[in-house]
Amino acid sequence: MITLRPLSLSPGKTGVLSCDVPASTMEATCYYCGCDAGKELNSFSGVEGTACALCALVQTLVRPRIDEEACIVWVPELSQPAMNVMIRRVHLTLRAHKERVETDAKPTKAVGLIPSLYHTAQALLDRRREATARLGTSSPSELADALLRLPAESYSGRDRLLGGARLLSLGKLFDGTSDIYPEIVDSWAANRRTARN
Ligand SMILES: [Zn+2]
């Protein structure tokens, strides 16, 4: 049993993401959500300890293409780690059925859990409107700019200021021009299979 670390929306530091360690070499637990961390992410600058891609993303809102990778939604009923665990589950299941994981991609099949998982992701995505109404934006990069301008005291209390704001992955993660998110989801799936054997 590990004690999870608190996970707060944070600008992080600008850094280039790279994933040059093969998926099979990394089987560690994310310090923030308790799930398998999967493919190692070397350069999520400013993230302390082992983090899965979803928890690392929450802490690196200054990433160059963050607005394509994620959006801000207002979901006070779920903690950020719970949101990450839920969306990981959605993406793992879609990928297992050979469906695309991008939130804007409609599944090609309507079997099993696929329709309800798709609608879960869309319902979370709809909460962008409430984030915009409450915070004035659903853009992670705009939120990062605002966080960077906060005085130190306010910054350290940002969880309270941000209330129910959560980062929702849009099912993409860029390493330069390549979307490596499908590989990351596959690394979670591979480690799950290994753990079961
Ligand atoms: Zn995590």
Report domain extents, the chain. Answer: 23-196
Mean pLDDT over 120-132 rounds to 96
Do residues 71 and 180 touch, judged by C-beta distance below 8 A? no
**Looking at residue 110, what is its pLDDT?**
87
Residues of the chain with pLDDT > 90, as a percent, come to 73
Q: How far is the CA of 88 from the centre of ligand 1 (A)?
A: 9
49 CA from centroid of ligand 1 (Å): 11
CA of 90 to the centre of ligand 1 (A): 14
Mean pLDDT confidence for 45-73 = 91
The alpha carbon of 85 and the centre of ligand 1 are apart by a number of angstroms equal to 7
Number of helices (H), then strands (E), in the chain:
9, 4
CB 146 within 8 A of CB 78: no
Q: How far is the CA of 113 from the centre of ligand 1 (A)?
A: 23
Comparing 17-21, 106-110, 131-135, 180-184, the range with the smallest average pLDDT is 17-21
**d(CA 27, ligand 1 centre) in Å:** 13
44 C-alpha to center of ligand 1: Å?
13
pLDDT in tens, 93-110: 999 999 999 998 999 988
Write phi, then psi, for 166 (nearest 5 degrees): -135, 155
- Report CA(51)–ligand 1 centroid distance (Å): 5
d(CA 168, CA 171): 9
**184 C-alpha vs ligand 1 centroid, how far in Å?**
12
Per the DSSP assignment, residues forming a β-bridge with 165 are 74
pLDDT at 196: 57
* Ligand 1 centroid, distance to 58 Cα (angstroms): 9
